[in-house]
Amino acid sequence: MARQGWSMSEMEIRRIAYLLSETDLVVAAIAERMDCSKSAIMSINRRFQIRDYGKHRNRWNVRPAIREERDDAHFEKSQVN
């Protein structure tokens, strides 16, 4: 059962954002994995505008800028090493 009345740590929020942007897991599976509610997952999705459901519940598109930001960060890290 999800935790009610608990705030999420920054690390948990980042992990959820990662799962939303990089996996094909549905919201219910992410919520179960992270031990929180589906509405908390959707709230994070709205906050960071990661997935665009386009009035569908079972299909979505990941916002292109999310993938580009991740790829840029990975490129910068590889250049430093």
Q: Return the pLDDT at 60.
A: 72
In a domain, 36, yes or no: yes
Query: Which pLDDT tens digit goes with each residue over 17-35?
Result: 999 999 989 999 999 999 9
In a domain, 24, yes or no: yes
SS3 52: strand
Q: How many domains does the structure of the chain reveal?
A: 1
CA dist 60 and 30 (Å) reads 15
71 lies in which domain range?
A: 10-80
Q: Are 71 and 65 in contact (CB under 8 A)?
A: no
Q: Return the pLDDT at 75.
A: 47
2-6, 27-31, 44-48, 59-63: least confident range: 2-6
CATH code for the domain in which residue 15 is found: 1.10.10
Q: Return the pLDDT at 34.
A: 95
Task: Look at the pTM and tell me if it is higher than 0.85.
Answer: no
Q: Return the pLDDT at 24.
A: 87
